Amino acid sequence: MSVLTLEDVHSYYGTSHILQGMNFEINAGETVALLGRNGAGKTTTMRSITGLLEPRSGRVMHQGENLAGRPAYEISRRGIKLVPEERRVFPELSVDDNMMLARRQANETTRTNEEMYELAPLLDPLRDRLAKNLSGGEQQMLAVCRALIQDPEILLLDEPSEGLAPVVVENLQEIFEDLVEEDVTILLSEQNVPFALGLTDRCYIIDKGKIVYEGTVEEIKERDDLLDEYLAVTSV
In this structure, what CATH number is given to the domain that contains residue 223?
3.40.50.300
Cβ-based burial of 198 (10 A; exposed 0-12, middle 13-18, buried ≥19):
middle
**pLDDT at position 172, please?**
85
pLDDT digits (tens, 9 = 90+) for 202-216: 999 999 999 999 999
Model pTM above 0.85: yes
State the total domains in the chain.
1
Q: Is the confidence at residue 232, as pLDDT, over 90? A: no
Asked, for residue 169, whether it belongs to a domain, the answer is no
Is 176 a domain residue? no
Residue 233 has pLDDT above 90, yes or no: no
Residue 49 lies in a domain: yes
Q: Is residue 119 part of a domain?
A: no
Report yes or no on 31 lying in a domain: yes
- Domain span including residue 31: 1-79+185-236
pLDDT at 231: 85
Asked if residue 165 belongs to a domain, the reply is no
Q: Give residue 91's pLDDT.
A: 94
| Contact in structure between 95 and 117 (CB atoms under 8 Å) | no
Q: Each residue of 170-186: pLDDT tens digit? A: 888 888 888 877 778 99
Residue 134: inside a domain = no
Query: Strands 185-190 and 31-35: what pairing?
Result: parallel
197 located within any domain: yes
pLDDT at 170: 84
